[in-house]
Structure 1
């Protein structure tokens, strides 16, 4: 216990919570969008329940990874004789790849429905009937997919600590990070519901999250196509792309607003001119 009460341990705890918050942004966006598929009066409950269950399962996952980390990192399926594709598939890489594929599928499906307005109205009605249990389940599953990176990074930050203090410190960080995610998920979801135009931006960011997970999973699996390595998208690149998308969206929104105002002014001038000519 003495190791937990040192200034160094408290700073490490702060860094762990910060790490959970930074790495959890993409997860937060998914939770906010996925929860909208539940009935409106149940959406806040779905987010809290989903993240709450995920916190418990994250702690279980942390314990499992501390005990069996080598089984997640060692390859269980390899291919090197093929000139087209080569890989060393691990449990970690398989989970990340599956998560990336699912998120890209979800983002593309929602974007497609938005493009087809009539279809979107039907789907929107169908989504409102989606069961609370189903939405909570997907939030928990994807939360665990996103957990791998944050837990493994946290393990690297606390690698110099003894087993028990390391477990306790990381558990506290997971709980605090989860509580922060519950609060922020409600705020992000409310913002998206009040500003529907930003939902498109959110889906494209989610699409980039899927690409990032695919690149990460390919890198972990040492995936090669025609002898070329799959490189992992860095977090710096990811956040740069997000900032660029947000700036483009803001500029385009302002420009569109100015065009509409200009058109309204022109229409008003034409009407006034016609009224004057009538007299």
Structure 2
């Protein structure tokens, strides 16, 4: 126990909490949006159990990855269709590909559903047809997809299971506290829900980009030289799949929100001016 109470572990815990906060933004956004697809009376319980189960499974995932990191890093298939598709495929590649494709599908489907609404006063969630158990399952599944990236990043900071698990549990508690507030905000400001869906669409693109480099990062973590690991990067028609940087992602999100705020203020100003002109006439 005394071995854990060191200045190095304390600093690592602070860094891990910051990392979880940064990487957990898209996760929290997904939980807030997806939970609204459940029956209204069960939405709060869905968010609670979705987060609790997901955090518990994230700790299990962390334990597994610490003990099986070499096996998970090792590519189990090498694609060598020269000029068409080349690169290595490991466990992380599959997780990012499936998760990225699924979250892009979800975002596009919900955006299309919003565009098909004829009466704005109608509850857009009423036609989702998802049970509470289905929504909890989706939240847990996507939480694990998001977790994979954050766990890999966390392992680069510390390999002490107790410190890593503590950071995960504390981030889970933070999500429990914030999920209700974020959901209420989206309900009161429906325009930001549309923005949230576009942000999730970008997240899907980010995950697909991560898939292209998953085998590279995995083998570098296992000790392979960068030049040798680079040969495992996915290439499509000769072009390397490169992940979007976190700074680019957050800059894109910030631009989306700034544009929406400016557009909303301009729309209100334009409406006020038209009303003033109509009164004068």
Q: What is the TM-score of this pair, normalised by structure 1?
A: 0.90
Correspondence for 2:279 among 268, 271, 279: 268
**Residues 3 and 9, structure 1, Cα contact 8 Å, conserved in 2:** no
Give a deviation string over 1:114-166, Cα, whole Å, max 9, x none. Answer: 11223996963222x4211000000001100100111111111014xxxxxx1
CA distance in 2, matches of 1:259, 1:219: 47
Give unpaired runs (5+ residues) of structure 2: 216-232
Q: Counterpart of 1:105?
A: 105
What root-mean-square deviation, in Å, do the aligned CA atoms of Structure 1 and Structure 2 show?
1.6
More deviation, 49-58/13-22 = 13-22
Give a deviation string over 1:182-207, Cα, whole Å, max 9, x none. Answer: 11111111100011111111111111
Q: Counterpart of 2:250?
A: 239
Q: Counterpart of 1:96?
A: 96
Q: Counterpart of 1:276?
A: none
Larger Rg: 1
- After superposition, the Cα gap between the structure-2 partners of 1:119 and 1:93, relative to the gap in structure 1 and judged at 3 Å, is farther
CA distance in 1, matches of 2:139, 2:84: 36
Q: Counterpart of 1:187?
A: 181
Give unpaired runs (5+ residues) of structure 1: 160-165, 271-279
More deviation, 69-78/22-31 = 69-78
Structure with greater helix share of residues? 1
Aligned length: 263
More deviation, 7-16/246-255 = 7-16
1:201 aligns with 2:195: yes
CA distance in 2, matches of 1:124, 1:243: 27
Q: Counterpart of 1:32?
A: 32
User: Pairwise mapping of residues 159-178 of structure 1 onto structure 2 (< 5 A)?
Assistant: 159=159, 166-178=160-172
Q: What is the TM-score of this pair, normalised by structure 2?
A: 0.90
